[in-house]
Amino acid sequence: MALDSFLLELLEDPVDHGPLLYLEGDQVLYNPRRRVAYQVLDSIPVLLPDESSPVSDERHDAYTKDPSARSTGKAS
């Protein structure tokens, strides 16, 4: 299930407070600056730094080039 647009406007990375990329197909919120992904479980973003996962160069390229990725924050 997709995250609500209103919620996407409010979400930011808990460490650097910047916007994230929401990849609905993979159910992750991705921070390309820190190269970490946060899971989205049952439409609930798990934005805990200790629960984030490092992202490989290949996955980073896929996430940042995905045309369906949506940016969080006010500009989403």
Q: What is the pTM (predicted TM-score) of this model? A: 0.93
Q: Are 54 and 38 in contact (CB under 8 A)?
A: no
At residue 74 the predicted structure's pLDDT band, cuts being 50, 70 and 90, is: confident
| pLDDT above 90 for 62 | yes
Residue whose C-alpha is closest to residue 21's, from 55, 46, 42, 11:
11
Torsion of the alpha carbons at 14, 1, 57 and 49, rounded to the nearest 10? 20
Cα separation, 66 vs 50, whole angstroms: 26
Domains of the chain: 5-71 (2.20.25.10)
* CA atoms of 20 and 54, how far apart (whole Å): 14
Of the listed ranges 4-8, 14-18, 22-26, 71-75, the one predicted with least confidence: 71-75
The structure tokens listed for 71 are 């940016």
